[in-house]
Structure 1
């Protein structure tokens, strides 16, 4: 039996700290600025921020913002059902097992804050010990002792919890004022939909002044297709990935940007009058689905025993074939599985025409979004600010959980001010003692502090990257820039 270890972490009820409503209201009514604020930083202890400004080009400025100091250390969290938190009964059971093995552990309650579409919740952790930043190896020794006792555990940095912290924070803020900027905004999927590519590579090929990573991409599909965006993607007016209904999106057109929730509708109408819904665009089809592949897909269609109709740019059926084949340049492939393969065989005969109709709707006003060659849309992963007030829509955006709402991670955010200025932000994280990242609640606070009237969270974690004039100006948590599904480009 291992020696009895003293738990240096008190058994307390821990509450996530959120800025008061009055702070939001004050920020929301603050006029648009030509500079960033230097006081009133919404996170950590009060005090002035350290700020450095660099003019990039006419209308574009890059700011480095630093605030806070390290005070958090390490603890050891016991795992329950593979997670470091769970129900009270699960936590008590794990704690009892550890105590019987000779370890003094504490059960801690914490509250995940509620957001606009998901109520607050209570969960429990089981923890042991408290060590400084320089004592991580001591915590790792305890994890090994627990493992020897057949108890799963991990070292946890307390600054990642999303609870009260002193930081520090290391941010890059890029502001684009359309009144002085003469260029345009675009989305890019890189060389293809299926493949991932770094934002700096996409920026270099397009000749972009600056870029940030875009939305989330599908890491749960075939390994050769993991560049596929999760949610909507429109590039130069072409819908390359369908929307997930109700999720937030960043709409770009020339030098304007706005944020809203969207849905997309794609239909196929056959020459014999039959009409049906196309379920997806440029992704693996589920059972009994119809998926449209464009020549931007960059891979063969899946050989899944379905049926395919190869269409030219006018919708004429060039070939009817079994599933699994190349997508020639200038063609599209309508791919059916299960009962929808029967639809393809029955209503997409060679030389017939299929009319493919695509529509994207703004759910805030119910109006269609014209898909012109100047239009790009990037899907986000949690709306943060709406009309100058915090509005985190985690459930609609598929992020309603402790890890995404409460825990701190590197973040990439986009916001728009009342005057139409675009604000792009990366908050570095996962670097104990250097920078702690931000929770979703904190991300909303930061965007309000920066003057955003509308704001959205993009992909984060190791994907967070900001590129300015060919150089990555933040510090990606992987240590190197990660290949991602899409990017937002600022072109001259």
Structure 2
């Protein structure tokens, strides 16, 4: 079986480095036996249930159910392929439906403002309302609209992101660095390119718990879609570059912190010529230089570029056209366009190419040492900063109605003032069972759980939590999805 990429990861408390916990401090630290029971932020009522399981000393699992179902279904007309549009677009779509004999209404909604993106509004065209047991009635209306040439779909009202009674079905895993004696690690599974389920990664590493990591690239070649969209550091090796300014989880030993990061990678030839390396273990765009490592797990793209194969000392052992294996103990510099010319001009055989990789913590402006026990998992959207909601949807590339307002399954990570790591999954897309959460609600939820810093990881069908070999939440795809990376908790 291929060698797995398991990284020991570490971090400090969110605001400053965590000092080692003395034995007396450990004994005095209160045992986490429950989560908050009052003031649940997503519903008017605190009515709910909470079940606690001690997985290991300092590692606790909570199963929480809050709220009750009250939402049903409606039918939304599609406006340029979406279920919303501008006021003028919605009124035009409504008029066309009325002309065809259908009773519809135009509904305004407000997308809340977040830290880096202002409030906005949109308009939907809808008709009818049905209970959870009456979905078939909504489906009949969609068919009648389709017969008249009008595109529409059934919508569950709980997905809207407006006020709801729920319910919310959640799993929360807390890791207390003062009492837990294991470690936090990151895994990319068998390779960077290959997707794998969190439970498979956990099983191979003998982890006692795991959650899915950040987004992976669904817009690249099919055989490369395990590639993380953002930073990945495994065993101190930079395996995917950062999206500059995006939040990430830095792990080391049993500690974690959340911050924003950027990466810089340079290549310097023996002749002194220095250039920027644009990416790591991904498809190269025009005129880019990309570094492939042995963890990539696939042949490099055959895109008419040029490649220099480097041994473990950085010596150029081969110059070749693009499209070849990355053998164990080697790295490959891959250039397209003008950067292919750079390789032919400056990466001569038997010359040495020095590759320098640097990760910078944008809060402290200091470099994060890439030691063998350092690892970083990229998040998707920052949620909480210094104890306050700070949703960075625009900075992180997700400033839209679907990502900010609509409810989806979520995987969330946060760190408390004392350095405790909180991992949470919120099931969604399960009408009558669990509605999921919007980005704004996810931030509110993590603050309620005590997080001073928090980040949204990949969600939707990727959202999964594994404890002792069992998936303890309910993935919305119906089964666990292969993902790019995972955060593991080892004994």
Runs of 5+ consecutive residues of structure 2 not aligned to the other structure: 1-28
Instruction: Indicate the SS of the match to 1:319.
Output: strand
Preserved contact between residue 167 and residue 433 of structure 2 (Cα < 8 Å): yes
**Residue-by-residue CA offset, 1:152-204 (whole Å, 9 max, x unaligned):** 11000000000010000000000011111111111110000001000000000
Question: RMSD between aligned alpha carbons?
Answer: 1.0
For the residues of structure 2 that align with 1:47 and 1:229, how far apart are their CA atoms? 38
The corresponding residue for 2:489 is 490
For the residues of structure 1 that align with 2:353 and 2:160, how far apart are their CA atoms? 53
**Residue-by-residue CA offset, 1:429-482 (whole Å, 9 max, x unaligned):** 000000000000000011001000110000000000000011100000011000
The corresponding residue for 1:41 is 40
Shift of 1:33: 8.0
Matched, 1:165 2:161: no
The corresponding residue for 1:250 is 249
Preserved contact between residue 213 and residue 465 of structure 1 (Cα < 8 Å): yes
The corresponding residue for 2:364 is 365
The corresponding residue for 1:183 is 182
The corresponding residue for 1:99 is 98
Shift of 1:36: 0.7
For the residues of structure 2 that align with 1:292 and 1:440, how far apart are their CA atoms? 34
Instruction: Indicate the SS of the match to 1:309.
Output: strand
For residues 154 and 343 of structure 1, do their structure 2 counterparts lie closer, same or farther at Cα, with a shift above 3 Å needed?
Answer: same
For the residues of structure 2 that align with 1:61 and 1:325, how far apart are their CA atoms? 46
For the residues of structure 1 that align with 2:142 and 2:194, how far apart are their CA atoms? 38
Preserved contact between residue 33 and residue 451 of structure 1 (Cα < 8 Å): no
Preserved contact between residue 291 and residue 331 of structure 2 (Cα < 8 Å): yes
Preserved contact between residue 39 and residue 49 of structure 1 (Cα < 8 Å): no
For residues 364 and 149 of structure 1, do their structure 2 counterparts lie closer, same or farther at Cα, with a shift above 3 Å needed?
Answer: same
For the residues of structure 1 that align with 2:240 and 2:46, how far apart are their CA atoms? 44
**Residue-by-residue CA offset, 1:97-139 (whole Å, 9 max, x unaligned):** 1111011111111110000000111111111111110110110
The corresponding residue for 1:79 is 78
Matched, 1:304 2:287: no
The corresponding residue for 1:387 is 386
The corresponding residue for 1:347 is 346
Preserved contact between residue 31 and residue 58 of structure 2 (Cα < 8 Å): no
Alignment of 1:155-234 (within 5 A): 155-234=154-233
Shift of 1:45: 2.2
Question: TM-score, with normalisation over the residues of structure 2?
Answer: 0.93
Shift of 1:44: 1.5
Preserved contact between residue 32 and residue 418 of structure 1 (Cα < 8 Å): no
The corresponding residue for 1:8 is none
Question: TM-score, with normalisation over the residues of structure 1?
Answer: 0.93
The corresponding residue for 1:295 is 294
For the residues of structure 1 that align with 2:215 and 2:67, how far apart are their CA atoms? 29
For the residues of structure 2 that align with 1:313 and 1:149, how far apart are their CA atoms? 66
Shift of 1:216: 0.1
Shift of 1:96: 1.1
